[in-house]
């Protein structure tokens, strides 16, 4: 038990504790900002989808998974449709979202006004 007291009293260990506390304080300070910006970004995307495609903001989807809605990237050879070998789409083949194509529209909406 005395070994732990010696470790805690060591100035180098105190510096690690201070650094860890500083990182935690920074994380807490940035978390609210990131959440707010992310929510505003999502709200802008949903507004754009409502304007362009007529999908109401109340429409949600919990069926789609990321590989279902992301297109294959043929440029870096991760997907080969001819051989039907795709590391990205092994389990989930690409398909259109059943809820008014919402998930596909979220993936393709790049222009946010």
pLDDT tens digits for 87-101? 666 676 778 888 899
Q: 10 Å Cβ neighbour count for 112?
A: 11
Q: What is the pLDDT of residue 71?
A: 73
Q: What is the pLDDT of residue 113?
A: 47
- What tokens appear for 5 in the block? 């007291």
Q: What is the pLDDT of residue 94?
A: 77
Q: What is the pLDDT of residue 33?
A: 95
- In the predicted model, residues of the chain with pLDDT beneath 50 are 113
Task: State how far the alpha carbon of 82 is from the alpha carbons of 66, 67, 76, 79, 86, in Å.
Answer: 22, 18, 15, 9, 10
Q: What is the pLDDT of residue 79?
A: 65
State the DSSP H helix or E strand holding residue 5, giving kind and residue range, or none if neither.
Answer: helix 2-9
pTM above 0.75, yes or no: no
DSSP state of 112: -
């Amino acid at each position: 038990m005395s070994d732990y007291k010696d470790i805690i009293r060591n100035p180098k260990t105190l510096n690690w504790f201070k650094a860890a506390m500083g990182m935690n304080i920074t994380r807490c300070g940035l978390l609210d900002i990131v959440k707010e910006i992310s929510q505003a970004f999502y709200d802008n995307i949903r507004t754009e989808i409502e304007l362009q495609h007529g999908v109401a903001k109340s429409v949600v989807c919990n069926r789609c998974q990321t590989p279902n809605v992301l297109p294959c990237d043929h440029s870096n050879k991760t997907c080969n449709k001819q051989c039907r070998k795709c590391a990205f789409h092994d389990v989930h083949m690409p398909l259109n979202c059943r809820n008014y194509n919402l998930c596909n529209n979220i993936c393709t909406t790049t222009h946010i006004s």
